[in-house]
Structure 1
């Protein structure tokens, strides 16, 4: 395997995030701008969509528990990438890293386009395209600049924005419940479909809300005491978001009439205005949405660099992603490259068709669910194949059930993305094949044998020494990794 460039000649990432910082990262990447439009998106289905939300929440929590268990089994940054690589080999690891990287920077483009809509409540109310593009680029590069200063500053900013975004959402999920009027709910199943069909149709919309729950596992190498803090941050962060989502959506359903909710572009704003009167409350919610969006972009910008960094250190991503700069060990190339790509696709979305934004959202969700599926499969593989001797009884049954639920949830998410999205997602995923071939160029093949050496004159052919079996560096790395994995699987 070719030598992968490391951080500035041997520097390693600093573990600067504690439990609060890691939890804020999870919450901050899950809660972006989408939550502020979620009730309107679910309104056509009526309150039955809250049932779908509950089902999706169970699946998200199953994934959170699975990621927490995997982070103990395979420590270090990389999340879904390292889990797939350790369980199924290098190629599976590469596909997960490639898929998740697309999720990160394409998702940032989707977040910033929605974020601009809230900024334009106060500026560029005429929605001039050139100004909108300028605002979007500012929204992408401010988080990039923060990340370039180091993970400690990034973590502090993440905690700050998480607290600010949580205040109005928490208000709606608590005080807002006191102002619910049952007449606002309308028909329980407003879609006219069967109950199961309505739940299945509403579920994909709710699925969008939980992308990012794996954030702490992706940056585990930068978390202090990762074996303790990563699982807790993942579960705590997901639970906090679930409570806010369900109660907040319930409050909006009960404080805004069903007819008004179906046409609202800012349902939380309308709910706040109905509860407190006037428009100042709605403007406050708009500010919260702006803060929420910039916080989500801050967290996702870090993930844009951390996943390829982990893969590049193993030779499964271009080596430039593995270089760290400065005392804080900043993956400069990963941050800049991903932000440039997000900027390009953002400009494209503003200058092309109106439905480009929706397609970007669906594509980013699909490319995130693929690593989720592999991670759940990796956990099942360790439970049923590698680690079945070390885990028995109720604990084994519990872990298998949770992992199977996480896998079923992932399949459901893929199915709910739609045929066209799956088609484009598969195409984008397979674009990684030439990259993988290029990365593996020049490496020896395990088991390849050189041409037989000529037999010295006067020596019988049958006494000639057999040709030595040449083992590539990749194979040697695999053998070494095998010993390390044997030790890891015996931890549980």
Structure 2
């Protein structure tokens, strides 16, 4: 992808391991560590909870397989933004990108920064007054790393992914081999009656699997993207699915179901202290901190690429600045800085968690549209040779579509006000789009 101002290109230097680490690292944040009790409560039993994690993983895998076929035909920087534009036209592409760069991406980065700050304050016994400054410092430091060559961000992703998997492996091993509980068949019926049920349990796991699609934003920086991008998406989701199932099984082997319910988000820290002592609890906290930092790194690395792709297409205000690539690092430095500034404003003035939740509805609306993509492309280009084809087509994309529709309907039923607000975020982008299009014509 050429930059018309300085002829600098994005650095196509990321291999399979870098892409795979970004998929795994971006998915595994804090969800698997804090959602065990919530999923168990909604499912009503340990068997139901395991099936909910499996169902969430299968839905996510079908989504990944579906996007993988599209990615092989559109291996460009921008991911979902590019897919929507080429499938449905410029307006739909713009709106999907607009929502991600203005609200969703910065809000996710901000919420990770805020949660990381709380953990650091608790771990080092820092005064609460430092909550916001530490959150800002954390996103700035990770952001600075991503102002350098993409090799540094990718290398950091590999390191943090390995580090976060070490405590996960310890939890799994001790749970499987030293746990004295039966992991299947234990129910908490008194909770199940007032909880959301199996469907809500699946919904909770889907949010813990989210983030896998962000590696597609780096299509212009991955070596042989038509081959490596599908491999990274599919292998990454499969790996996370196995990890989530093993961790959940290990927790259920170590702690009685009723105890998990009583502990809530403290179930895994309790397990770490029980199995490894106080030092084990501290090491787990370090593992979770590293996990969040790695997840934040993946998002800071990938979301600015959407902004860059949109600026290259002359669809954003200040496009000449945002489309700039550093001749030295070959990274979109002003897009990264802009993303961090928006995230910082959210940390200081807004509830970033709530903002990211508001965008879930619209994200999944765009997902559903994208999942129809393989069918559209197969009809548009009959007989074309594809580098990757969806297995079990059309069943696989149908499952992905139904899973996303389930999230959409659930959001409408549980948070109608939030759904309407998320529509407002998207609609604000329409006049921006037409203004920039008119500027293009005048030029």
CA distance in 2, matches of 1:213, 1:396: 17
Alpha-carbon offset, residue 7 of structure 1: 6.5
Provide the residue aligned with 2:256 in structure 1. Answer: 257
8 Å CA contact retained: 2:41, 2:188: no
8 Å CA contact retained: 1:7, 1:329: no
Q: Does 1:413 align with 2:407?
A: yes
Alpha-carbon offset, residue 368 of structure 1: 3.1
8 Å CA contact retained: 2:36, 2:265: no
Provide the residue aligned with 1:113 in structure 2. Answer: 114
SS of the counterpart of 2:197?
A: helix
* 1:307-346 correspondence runs (5 A): 307-318=306-317, 319=319, 320-346=321-347
CA distance in 1, matches of 2:431, 2:126: 45
Over residues 343-389 of structure 1, what are the superposed CA-to-partner deviations in whole Å (9 max), with x where a residue is unaligned?
1111224xxxxxx4552342243343233222212222113x21344
* 1:118-137 correspondence runs (5 A): 118-124=119-125, 128=128, 130-137=129-136
Provide the residue aligned with 2:395 in structure 1. Answer: 401
Provide the residue aligned with 1:467 in structure 2. Answer: none
Over residues 423-461 of structure 1, what are the superposed CA-to-partner deviations in whole Å (9 max), with x where a residue is unaligned?
2211211121121122112344xxxxxxxxxxxxxxxxx
Over residues 249-269 of structure 1, what are the superposed CA-to-partner deviations in whole Å (9 max), with x where a residue is unaligned?
222233223344233433322
Over residues 255-304 of structure 1, what are the superposed CA-to-partner deviations in whole Å (9 max), with x where a residue is unaligned?
2233442334333221122223x211111010001111111111100112
Q: TM-score normalized by structure 2?
A: 0.90
Over residues 86-132 of structure 1, what are the superposed CA-to-partner deviations in whole Å (9 max), with x where a residue is unaligned?
11110111011112223211111121222223212322455x2x301
SS of the counterpart of 1:431?
A: helix
CA distance in 1, matches of 2:138, 2:220: 27
SS of the counterpart of 2:13?
A: coil
SS of the counterpart of 1:440?
A: helix
Q: 1:184 to 1:406 in 2, by over 3 A?
A: closer
* 1:30-429 correspondence runs (5 A): 30-45=27-42, 46=44, 47=46, 48-101=48-101, 102-124=103-125, 128=128, 130-182=129-181, 186-187=186-187, 191-193=191-193, 198-262=197-261, 263-276=263-276, 278-318=277-317, 319=319, 320-349=321-350, 356=351, 358-383=353-378, 385-390=379-384, 398-417=392-411, 418=414, 419-429=416-426
Alpha-carbon offset, residue 189 of structure 1: 5.3
Alpha-carbon offset, residue 339 of structure 1: 0.8
Q: TM-score normalized by structure 1?
A: 0.81
Q: 1:237 to 1:183 in 2, by over 3 A?
A: closer
Larger radius of gyration: 1
CA distance in 2, matches of 1:317, 1:178: 55
Provide the residue aligned with 1:16 in structure 2. Answer: 13
Alpha-carbon offset, residue 150 of structure 1: 1.7
* Structure 2 unmatched ranges of 5 or more: none
8 Å CA contact retained: 1:118, 1:290: yes
8 Å CA contact retained: 1:8, 1:326: no
Q: 1:69 to 1:258 in 2, by over 3 A?
A: same
Alpha-carbon offset, residue 334 of structure 1: 1.0
CA distance in 1, matches of 2:76, 2:368: 20
Over residues 467-487 of structure 1, what are the superposed CA-to-partner deviations in whole Å (9 max), with x where a residue is unaligned?
xxxxx99xxxxxxxxxxxxxx
Q: 1:243 to 1:183 in 2, by over 3 A?
A: closer
CA distance in 2, matches of 1:387, 1:408: 25
* Structure 1 unmatched ranges of 5 or more: 350-355, 445-471, 474-492
CA distance in 1, matches of 2:353, 2:76: 34
8 Å CA contact retained: 1:7, 1:323: no
Greater share of residues in helix: 2
Q: 1:5 to 1:390 in 2, by over 3 A?
A: closer
Q: 1:117 to 1:396 in 2, by over 3 A?
A: closer
SS of the counterpart of 1:398?
A: coil
Provide the residue aligned with 1:461 in structure 2. Answer: none
Q: 1:367 to 1:189 in 2, by over 3 A?
A: farther
Alpha-carbon offset, residue 177 of structure 1: 1.7
8 Å CA contact retained: 1:37, 1:265: yes
CA distance in 2, matches of 1:190, 1:29: 35
Provide the residue aligned with 1:433 in structure 2. Answer: 430
Alpha-carbon offset, residue 415 of structure 1: 2.0
Q: Which has the higher contact order (CA 8 A, sep 6+)?
A: 2
